[in-house]
Structures are given as C-alpha cells and as structure tokens.
A = this chain, B = another copy of it.
Amino acid sequence: MANITKKVSWSSRADDSNATGEGTPLLNGSDQLGYSRQQSGGSISQIGRVSTVDMDEEITSEEDSLRGRPKEITHNEKLLSLKYESLDYDNSENQLFLEEERRMSYLGFRCLEISRWVVCGLIGFLTGLIACFIDILVEQLAGLKYSVVKENIEKFTAGGSLSISLILWAVLNSSFVMVGAIIVAFFEPIAGGSGIPQIKCYLNGVKIPRVVRLKTLLVKVAGVICSVAGGLAVGKEGPMIHSGAVVAAGVSQGRSTSLKRDFKIFEYFRRDTEKRDFVSAGAAAGVSAAFGAPVGGVLFSLEEAASYWNQMLTWRIFFASMISTFTLNFFMSVYHKNPGEMSNPGLINFGSFDRNSSSEYNLYEIPLFIGMGAIGGLLGALFNALNYWLTIFRIRYIHRPCIQVMEAMLVAAVTATVSFIMIYFSNDCQPLGADQVEDYPLQLYCDDGEYNSMATTFFNTPEKSVRNLFHNKPGSYNPLTLGLFTLTYFFLACWTYGLAVSAGVFIPSLLIGAAWGRLIGIMLPNLSPSSSPSQIWADPGKYALIGAAAQLGGIVRMTLSLTVIMIEATGNVTYGLPLMLVLMTAKIVGDYFEEGLYDIHIKLQSVPFVHSEAPPTSHWLTAREVMSSPVTSFNRIERVGTIVDLLSNTSTNHNGFPVVVSNANGDEPAKLCGLILRSQLIVLLKHKVFVELARSKLTRRKLQLKDFRDAYPRFPPIQSIHVSQDERECMMDLTEFMNPTPYTVPQETSLPRVYKLFRALGLRHLVVVDDSNRVVGLVTRKDLARYHLGKHGLEELQLAQT
C-alpha cells in the first residue's frame, strides 16, 4: 500500500531513500497520537480507525452524506501534514554570500539583471510555443476524430444502425483518454489534474515534490492533448499554468537534473528565492497563453505568490506574459496561414465583444447580474461539494494506477454515450446559415439545410462551444437543449475533475455557466413585462458571458485575477463592473457553503498553506503559544557526531537549526548567533569541512557558494553521507555558513504580527527569542498554517507526521 499511496499523495517522494514517506498523508492519524500503523495491503478498510462510524456504511448511506460531511472525513481534513518542506524565500546571508555579493561590481549586477530579463523572455517564448503545440495537436486530433465520427454518423443515419457510430465514438474517446491516463497514472501522478493547486502551493512557499520537473512537463503536455482530444469535459488552460511554471523552473536553472546536463549558465539563480520568482513568471506566462490575458497572468501570480511587492520583478513577470501571448499569437497566425494577423492571443478565445450598443448593459440589469452571480455561487458550491466527496472516494478506493486508467476510460465512454443519446433524442433543428460558424454541423434527423443544435455543443471542443454560446445569434439554441446540456455537462465535468488525467476545470466551468447563462438570457424576454422593448434582451450572448463568469467564480473562487482575465479575454473593459460584481457575489455565496475547488484539493492533501493574513480573531495568541519548542540548536563550533545524529533522527526531521554561542566562562545561557539549514549542513558534511581537516590540509580549497548551488535543489539525504568514527569526533565551525542575522521576534509578539512578518518576507524559520536574545522557540510554516477560522471561531488543525 505504501507504494500506491505514494502515487496518490503530492508529498510522497519516489526518490526518498529513507522510509519515512510511507502511508498516505491524508488518511491516518500521526504516530504521535499513538495509533498503530498497519502496513499490510488489507489495511484499506482500517483507514477510518479514528472514527466510530463504519466507513463503508457511511459512504453508501446517501442520506448521511447529504446531511453533512461524514465525521471522520472532517477529522482528516483538519490534519496538517508535517511532510511538506518549505521553500526559502529569505536568502541565507552568510559570509560566503556576502563575500560574493561584495565582490560583484555594479556591472555584474547589471548583467544579472539582464540575464533575468533574458530568462523571462525565454520562459514566455517557450510557454507560448508549448501552448501553440498543444493547441495545434488538439485541433488536429479532435478534427480527425470528429470527421471520422461525423462521416460514420452520416453513413448510418439512414440505415438506423447508429449504435455502431456510438461505439466508434466511445472507443475513439476511450483510447485517447487511455493513453493520457496511463502516462499520468503510471509515470507521473503529480501531472494529473489542472496543476493549479500544486502551483498555488509552490508559489505559497511549499515544496511539492517533483512538481517542476521536466518529466512532469512532458507527461502534462501529452496528457492534456489526449484528454482534450478524447472528448472529456476538460480544458487545456489549467495545465498551461503548470507547464509555464515547469518551463520557468527549468530554464532559470540552466541545467536539467533529469537529463544530467548542466549548461553552466544562470548559476546565480540556483536557489529558492530566484527560482520562485521565475516560477511566478512562468505561471503568469501560462495564464497569459491560456487566456490571452497578460495582465491577468501577472495578477494571478501576484495573488498566489507575491508576499513582497517588487516592482522590477512584476515588470519582468509582465514581460514574460507578454512574450508568451505574443508567441502563441504569432505562431497561431502562421499556422492559420495568415501571418501577422494577431487574433489568437490565448488558447481560449472568447471572440470579440465589440463596443456596440447591443453589447452594452443597463443599470437595471445589474441586480440581475448579481442574482446570476448568486446562482453561480450556489452551483459552484454544489459542484465543489460533489467533487469533494468524489475525491474522498477516489483516494480510498481508486488509488491503483490501473483502476485509475479504467475509471478515466469509463468516464470517456460515458461522456461519449451521454452526448450521443442527447444528440439522438434532441429535435432542436436549426437552419444552416450562410455565416455558418459550426465546424462539424451534424444533420442527423434534421431536414436538409438544417443541423442538430444539441450536437454543436457536444460535437466540438469545449473552447469552441463556449465561443458559440457567447456569439451565436439569438435563436440558435432552444431552451430545452441548453437546460439538458447544462445538467449533463455539470455532472460530467464534476466526475471528470480529479481523474488521473491532466486536465483543467476552467473551460468546463465556463461552458456550464455559459449554457445556463444563455438559457436565462433566452427566458428573460418571456418573463419580463411585454411592454419593455425586446431589443434590450436581445443578446443572450451577454448573459452567457455573465453566467460563465458566475459559474467559474463559484467553482474556483479567484477574485481579482479572474476578473482581469475575463476582461482581457472578452477584450472589452465595458463589462468590467458587471464581471466584478458577479465574481464577488459568486465568491461570497459560494464561500458560505463550501470552499473553492483548489482550496479543497489543497486541504485534502493537508498542505500547510499560509494565507495572506492571519485569522482576524487570533490576537489572543502570541508567539509563545504558536512556536515549536524546545528547539534543537547547535553550537557555533559543533561536534560532527552530534550533527550527524541530529540530522539522522527521523522522528524530528527538522530543517533549520538556530546556532547559539555561550560566553567564555559559560555561566550565562547561550545566545542566538545564527541559523543554519539542514541542506547547508549536508553539503558541509559531504565536503568534510571539519576544523581538524582544515588545519591538516592547508591547500584544501575553501568551500564556496558554488558547492551549495551545485547540490541545489536535490540535496542528498543524510544517510548517503558516510562519516567515519574518527570524523565523528571532529568539530565543525559553522560561523561562515550560518545566516548570522536571522529574523527574530520576542515571545510576546501576537500571532497576526508574527504572521505578517513571516508572510511578508517569505520566511521558512522565524526564531523566537526572550529578552536576552536566547532562543526559546522556532516558528515555521506549519505553526502558522495550523490556525484557521472555522465556523466556531479560531480552530487549530492537528499535525501529522505523514
């Protein structure tokens, strides 16, 4: 089971040499709590140990699930995994670092700055290229598929043996999805899903294993092509954000650990601080390519990442975003044999809502929009709740790769079947106009010169369906079609999200929302008093847009960035205020019932996510209550054996150690003089930087920052470093390597104040000292993430070793 759950959990590490990574981080109490651990394969039914209710009964009894969340799942959700490490956004300003910085001339800094710009340009360019590649391949594959199926349907419509077409369609879809699911489930599970929760966590400062590796990128790209071409209710936009992030992490390091190539460039950027900045740029470039929204991309990155506003960084992020959308636009224009015609800024193209009178809104429509926002919030909360239960179910029962592949194939087949049935029984025929926008109009049982309207929504990539819902002229859809479509697509999309395929939830959300939004737009003229001029209600496309925003906002609950993304995607500032009000309402209403989809998935992984502000009622708490203590400290000159023993202690697994110094006669307590990281100690041990050795071998090269950079980011585990018995008695002088000026707070500091310092500077360790500068505790990410505002005031999550 250990291996299987490794695939399920974000936090597991395949290359972990020690065995602490066993057990799923989700579903068990911690060792500290005294539960016995069962390693056997038959332990699945034992997972709910903590609960008193029988698990199976509970899942099957529907009334129970509907009444509220099952008790022990609530409990599991309130765990915080201790397995995730933090990124270090705060530079360790040790002597080596300062020496290097001081050696560098002003010109050197200029060169660094220029190379940062070059890297950002590259990130944007490559992200744009990837978007282009995905888009073209999806279009080709989906086009091929639809042509084959359409031909087949047309052949069999007369003969009546349409079941053959259905089977053909289902098989085609399933085989695409199978490929996509196999590579995800067997090769790189972290590439599953949209990747946005993972990137959110990474940007928040949580180290998610393998999330920015080359392999993840390859699987992600191939996976998303398969799943979209396979006709699942998914989008290719979320994965773009993940892809951009991986590109950024790769390019900025100037080497690939997977390919064992080191280009010896950008070595300065090999640390968490710089890397995280570039990953922000990559994520922004991804958003920009996905939606043609460079500003939205910048805001997305800022919303998720920025703890500290840095003007130059933001400007660089914007540059990457611009280059990304430009690259996509340019290559797509070449692909469409119209080079220079920049009309494809993003993967999803809402089409232009031009500034003409019909697309304007009136003041009295605003309450209507707000109402739609509320509907979006409700539907979004329902979607999230359903998906939450489904995810719990999946984690418990569907964690073997082959079952995951089978589930994905099943969903693909069901999607095809449901679509087919709905098309088959639909009698909504529309005339084929001269200004035909459908790529694959299906005639089916319609008269000649007409096409099946239901088919256009299903028989198309979701992106095109969204655009059709926005822009097809009034009367293109009949209400029943839209209603049925909304209903089925809602459940299909909900089922699909969380499958072991890489796929985003943006487009399905937009599609569901656009469908019910357009439905409202169509119904309105009937509901409103006949005296009102029908011309005002004439544009259901406007309502489709508002509905799409409401539904998307209700599901993902992003605020500022989503508004800007929607504004940019529509290419029209006019809808700014309505979109903002709708997204705000959707968020408020949705938050009342259920968290956002990404937050749910982050929480289910027990990630210690530090929000931008402390819970409002947390002034009661001070650093004294929040901190971990006692703290393991080292002396400035410490025995190697002590260090090795402490690092090898798997029960603590600390990553940062305060360094203390006692005065000469030793009567006073030790005072804080620095902070050293596990990774630094490991490099020191590996290079055997011992006081005795330094004395004996005078010619020995001094350890440089380069040695730390070379080891970054995959520092070897302590177990792989051999230290002989003699060496254990040597001493190590940490003075040069520790950070001599760690940030500290007094014990009486209130939690919000600690939180602000921690978040603003992106810290990993914050030392708590008493009034004589003696170490009394250490605040880390988990200590802050632990407190959150529940329904009954401030709640504290439990910590689990897993």
Contact of B741 with A744 in the complex, beta carbons under 8 Å: no
Contact of B357 with A354 in the complex, beta carbons under 8 Å: no
Partner of A341, one of B360, B671, B769: B360
Contact of B568 with A571 in the complex, beta carbons under 8 Å: no
Q: Which residues of chain B come closer than 8 Å to A564, judged between CB atoms?
A: 295
Contact of A567 with B295 in the complex, beta carbons under 8 Å: yes
Q: Which residues of chain B come closer than 8 Å to A352, judged between CB atoms?
A: 355
Contact of B612 with A98 in the complex, beta carbons under 8 Å: no
> Within the assembled complex, what's the spacing in Å between the Cα atoms of A672 and B748?
13
Smallest distance from the beta carbon of A120 to chain B beta carbons, Å?
12
Smallest distance from the beta carbon of A229 to chain B beta carbons, Å?
28
- Say whether, besides A360-B340, A612-B310, A741-B746, A573 and B563 are in contact (CB < 8 Å): no
Q: Which residues of chain B come closer than 8 Å to A671, judged between CB atoms?
A: 771-772
- Say whether, besides A295-B564, A357-B341, A741 and B753 are in contact (CB < 8 Å): yes
Q: Which residues of chain B come closer than 8 Å to A330, judged between CB atoms?
A: 363
> Within the assembled complex, what's the spacing in Å between the Cα atoms of A12 and B708?
53
The reply on A312 being an interface residue by CB < 8 A is yes
Partner of A757, one of B619, B746, B761, B771: B761
Who on chain B is nearest to A302 by CB?
B309
Contact of B312 with A613 in the complex, beta carbons under 8 Å: yes
Q: Which residues of chain A from 730 to 769 have any CB-CB distance to chain B below 8 Å in the complex? A: 740-741, 743-746, 748-750, 753, 756-757, 760-761, 769
> Within the assembled complex, what's the spacing in Å between the Cα atoms of A559 and B741?
34
Please count how many residues in chain A sit with their CB below 8 Å of the partner chain's CB atoms.
Answer: 91
Q: Which residues of chain B come closer than 8 Å to A772, judged between CB atoms?
A: 671, 772-773
Q: Which residues of chain B come closer than 8 Å to A613, judged between CB atoms?
A: 310-312
Contact of B559 with A311 in the complex, beta carbons under 8 Å: yes
> Within the assembled complex, what's the spacing in Å between the Cα atoms of A315 and B771?
39
Q: Which residues of chain A from 62 to 106 have any CB-CB distance to chain B below 8 Å in the complex? A: 91, 93, 98, 101-102, 104-106
The reply on A201 being an interface residue by CB < 8 A is no
> Within the assembled complex, what's the spacing in Å between the Cα atoms of A98 and B743?
23
Contact of A308 with B355 in the complex, beta carbons under 8 Å: no
Contact of A576 with B325 in the complex, beta carbons under 8 Å: yes
> Within the assembled complex, what's the spacing in Å between the Cα atoms of A771 and B636?
14
Q: Which residues of chain B come closer than 8 Å to A711, judged between CB atoms?
A: none
The reply on A314 being an interface residue by CB < 8 A is yes
The reply on A534 being an interface residue by CB < 8 A is no
Q: Which residues of chain B come closer than 8 Å to A335, judged between CB atoms?
A: none
Q: Which residues of chain B come closer than 8 Å to A106, judged between CB atoms?
A: 616-617, 789, 793
14 intermolecular pairs with C-beta atoms under 8 Å apart: A102-B619, A106-B616, A308-B756, A314-B560, A315-B560, A330-B363, A340-B362, A571-B572, A571-B573, A671-B771, A671-B772, A673-B771, A740-B746, A741-B749
Among A311, A341, A612, A744, chain B packs the most CB atoms within 10 A around the CB of: A311
Contact of A340 with B314 in the complex, beta carbons under 8 Å: no
Q: Which residues of chain B come closer than 8 Å to A743, judged between CB atoms?
A: 745, 757
Contact of A318 with B580 in the complex, beta carbons under 8 Å: yes
Q: Which residues of chain B come closer than 8 Å to A567, judged between CB atoms?
A: 295
Q: Which residues of chain B come closer than 8 Å to A363, judged between CB atoms?
A: 330, 339-340
Partner of A343, one of B104, B318, B322, B355: B355
The reply on A620 being an interface residue by CB < 8 A is yes
Q: Which residues of chain A from 300 to 347 have any CB-CB distance to chain B below 8 Å in the complex? A: 302-303, 306-312, 314-315, 318-319, 322-323, 325-326, 330, 339-343, 345
Who on chain B is nearest to A288 by CB?
B576
Who on chain B is nearest to A671 by CB?
B771
In the complex, the 3 A-B pairs of residues with the closest C-beta atoms, listed nearest first:
A109-B616, A101-B619, A741-B749
The reply on A574 being an interface residue by CB < 8 A is yes
The reply on A508 being an interface residue by CB < 8 A is no
Contact of B741 with A355 in the complex, beta carbons under 8 Å: no
Q: Which residues of chain B come closer than 8 Å to A319, judged between CB atoms?
A: 580, 584
Contact of A560 with B753 in the complex, beta carbons under 8 Å: no
Q: Which residues of chain B come closer than 8 Å to A311, judged between CB atoms?
A: 303, 559-560, 612-613
Smallest distance from the beta carbon of A101 to chain B beta carbons, Å?
4
The reply on A377 being an interface residue by CB < 8 A is no
Q: Which residues of chain B come closer than 8 Å to A325, judged between CB atoms?
A: 576-577
The reply on A294 being an interface residue by CB < 8 A is yes
The reply on A361 being an interface residue by CB < 8 A is yes
> Within the assembled complex, what's the spacing in Å between the Cα atoms of A576 and B319?
10
Q: Which residues of chain B come closer than 8 Å to A771, judged between CB atoms?
A: 661, 671-673, 773
